[in-house]
């Protein structure tokens, strides 16, 4: 995770979940959409705060996660 998200991407992500939910014959589509919708419904303020925080400190923030080698 590099912390390069922008707030406008939250609404874009929610739009994608609404396009998937209920529009596929595979139940996994709904199952993939619901956690994202729930996260934004309950913690959107926290997500936005973290985006702001990472944006302000982008020049000195190390990646949060590094892939295992």
pLDDT tens sequence for the chain (69 residues):
667 889 999 999 999 999 998 898 888 988 999 999 999 999 999 999 999 988 887 666 566 566 666
- The percent of the chain in helix, strand and coil, each rounded to the nearest 5, is 60, 0, 40
Number of helices and strands (H, E) in the chain? 2, 0
Q: How far apart are alpha carbons 25 and 13 in whole angstroms?
A: 21
Query: Is residue 48 situated within a structural domain?
Result: yes
Query: Is residue 13 situated within a structural domain?
Result: yes
Sign of the CA dihedral with 9 first, then 14, 17, and 23 last: negative
How many domains is the chain built from? 1
Q: How far apart are alpha carbons 38 and 31 in whole angstroms?
A: 11
The boundaries of the domain holding residue 19 are 8-56
Query: Is residue 37 situated within a structural domain?
Result: yes
CATH code of residue 26: 1.20.1440.230
pLDDT score, position 55: 83
Query: Is residue 61 situated within a structural domain?
Result: no
Query: Is residue 39 situated within a structural domain?
Result: yes
């Amino acid at each position: 995770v590099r912390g390069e998200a922008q707030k406008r991407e939250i609404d874009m992500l929610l739009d994608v979940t609404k396009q998937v939910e209920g529009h596929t014959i595979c139940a996994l589509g709904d199952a993939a959409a619901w956690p994202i919708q729930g996260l934004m419904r309950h913690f959107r303020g926290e997500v936005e705060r973290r985006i702001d925080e990472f944006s302000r400190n982008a020049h000195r923030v190390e990646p949060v996660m590094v892939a295992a080698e």
